[in-house]
Amino acid sequence: EHETNRLTHVNSHAHRTEEMDVERLLVRRGQPFSLALQCFTTLPPKHKLAMILHLALNDSICVLDARAGSDKWWFRQQGAQSEVLLTIHSPADAPVGLYSVTVLLLSPDGHILEKTTPDTFYLLFNPWCKADSVYLPDEELLEEYILNENGLLYQGSWDQISSLPWNFGQFEQDVVDICFEILDNSPAALTNPEMDTANRADPVYVSRTITAMVNANDDRGVVSGRWDGKYDDGVPPTRWTGSVPILRRWSEAGAQRVRYGQCWVFSGVACTVLRCLGIPTRPVTNYSSAHDTDGNLNVDYLYDEQLESVSEGRKDMIWNYHCWVESWMDREDLPKGYDGWQALDPTPQERSDGVYCCGPCPVKAVRDGDVGMKYDAAFVFSEVNADLVTWIVYPDGQRSQVSLNQNTVGQNISTKSVYGDYREDITKHYKYPEGSVKEREVYEKAGRRVTQPNGAPGQLELKIKHAQAILGTDFDVIVEVHNVGGEDTPAQLTVTSNAVTYNSLHRGECHRKTASLTVPAQKAHKEVLRLRYDHYGACVSEHNLIRVTALLQVSGQPEVILQEVNIQLSMPQLHVKVVGDAVVSRKLIAHISFTNPLPITLRGGVFTVEGAGLTAAREIQAPDDIGPGQEVKVKLSFKPTRAGLRKLMVDFDADRIRDVKGIATLILKNKPKWFPP
């Protein structure tokens, strides 16, 4: 009788998968792992052992030899008293996936005398292995980009950056199974499983498949995107605090799309899946991100003669921020020089090869203007480099360009630092310094026109100022028109304030003011706009943003000056305090409180709580309506499952306020093995 024993602990420590909460053996490719074969008798002389390896979806069977061969699967054996230690070597370019292995006892003439019951294991990418195409030779980076289950996603706007704590949870229970389930549900896997399996050796293929599968636009994808504010038949995008509940919900419903996500949700989920599979990945945020629908490297804003916006249909726009991810890999499919970070954008914006996915696109190709590089370099290039062009459209359909802004788009490109919870600016990886010779060369190469500022600067300058604005209060916005010339100048000023989403969808106009003015030479004119909560409160989006746009037209001249500010209304924090001994498997209690900052009563309040190694996602309803200035308190008990630095993420949502967040950080110890007398 023979049976194999998987030495799970020894392997998972060596393969850095011990955090993964699964019964199954998890190993990384290109690195040997061991099985112990229990033998109740010693092996008879001249009998041999062989192994049969089977990749789950595929019928291909590979028989392993007991001899060394660096580019193939092989094994070696070492006898001990009542067992044989089998060490299995996998090639560093083997397809990732679920394998099963059976050990055979062969007679001297090659007949199968006995075989073990099959043992299964997952094989993952191995960024610690030199020969693997995702090899990253820096332990500190791997600690963050593979092993860290918590992170920050950057939001806000370029001049008011905020961070959202996110629970990636890539080692939580079932997550690795769900990641392979996502690959198994891709159109290629369903129509041509054999080819798909072979391609799973390639991180370029796997990461591109994941960007297509994280959004539910074409396939049995994970998250359905929605931006219009109508989320009653699902979860509002702002309510999520991590990827695990989304992945579990998708899997439990039989690969049914989860409603709803927006860009940070897509990037958070993609980051979880790619880290789990073993591809080093980080979330990235681009501020003032261009969405150029017609590919002309311009974002076109259209106004009529009354300075009302007339951009119709699928319009070009600038998103306050846009999140994607970068993954680290070699690009053997491209000419030399494009290895390293690759941009991957799982948010469904434009089709690529007929499918909503974007990337992997070498970040170096974006910086150098190589817009023909696979995949989607032109789209990513325009996200960080497009010009903002303002046009006036006349009644007969003619339009004239009235302003051009070349340095708005693509600012403060951000990711979380590997050294802690602060921002690392990676703009220089995407573009050369503003105004440098190199930048000009890149624009010419990419086909973006290089315009010289035309003629002398105008006499009038436009500035918008505002104090710190708090959601629920009234506040002033001041528009200043400065006349820097020597003559009094007549002009027409239009100022509008709109409730918008982070990706520039209008939810309602709060205020509009038009004034004819004459600005004296060397003086300034001030226009004050009072924004009241009873005006903006009803239409403000879940992103709590007010966009103030000022358009100034000098009388008798074609030129229009455009200024825009995005005012992020600041929100209260949740108060989260955890009480008890921070020891694995011991009960802890989280006390969560929130004070309503609005002058109105909040209804339907709900708290969402989750944390990798602490607790699965849970919801707690607020006991009652919450009046203006009133405090609500809830508590929740949980038993942590894993030691180390852990974060508990909390979200609060109600009918008139969303996206209120709180966080508690804990350091958990394992239970002591013994108790002194």
Cα distances (angstroms) measured from residue 155 to each of 43, 200, 423, 506: 63, 33, 11, 18
Q: Are 618 and 590 in contact (CB under 8 A)?
A: no
Does the annotation place 385 within a ligand binding site? Answer: yes
What is the rounded CA–CA span in Å between residue 236 and residue 228?
A: 11
What is the rounded CA–CA span in Å between residue 56 and residue 150?
A: 31
Does the annotation place 286 within a ligand binding site? Answer: no
Q: What is the largest CA-CA distance in the chain?
A: 107
* Triad 437, 293, 430: Cα angle to 5°: 35
- Whether the CA torsion 294, 298, 299, 303 is positive or negative: it is negative
What is the rounded CA–CA span in Å between residue 249 and residue 182?
A: 13
Q: Identify the active-site residue in 196, 345, 376, 653.
A: 345
φ and ψ at residue 562, rounded to 5 degrees = -115, 130
- DSSP states along 376-401: THHHHHHHHH-EEEEEEE-TTS-EEE
Does the annotation place 387 within a ligand binding site? Answer: yes
Q: Are 281 and 181 in contact (CB under 8 A)?
A: no
Residue 219 is a catalytic residue = no
What is the rounded CA–CA span in Å between residue 343 and residue 289?
A: 14
Cα distances (angstroms) measured from residue 51 to each of 107, 470, 547, 586: 14, 67, 65, 44
Cα distances (angstroms) measured from residue 69 to each of 34, 65, 206, 481: 17, 9, 26, 75
What is the rounded CA–CA span in Å between residue 287 and residue 566?
A: 12
What is the rounded CA–CA span in Å between residue 89 and residue 11?
A: 12
Residue 263 is a catalytic residue = yes
Q: Identify the active-site residue in 15, 322, 525, 543.
A: 322
What is the rounded CA–CA span in Å between residue 365 and residue 588?
A: 49
Does the annotation place 439 within a ligand binding site? Answer: yes
Residue 345 is a catalytic residue = yes
Cα distances (angstroms) measured from residue 77 to each of 29, 38, 48, 290, 641: 19, 13, 10, 58, 36
With tokens 């006499």, the residue in question is 459
Q: Identify the active-site residue in 132, 179, 184, 263.
A: 263
Residues making up the annotated binding site are 385, 387, 434, 439
Residues making up the annotated binding site for Ca(2+) are 385, 387, 434, 439
What is the set of active-site residues? 263, 322, 345
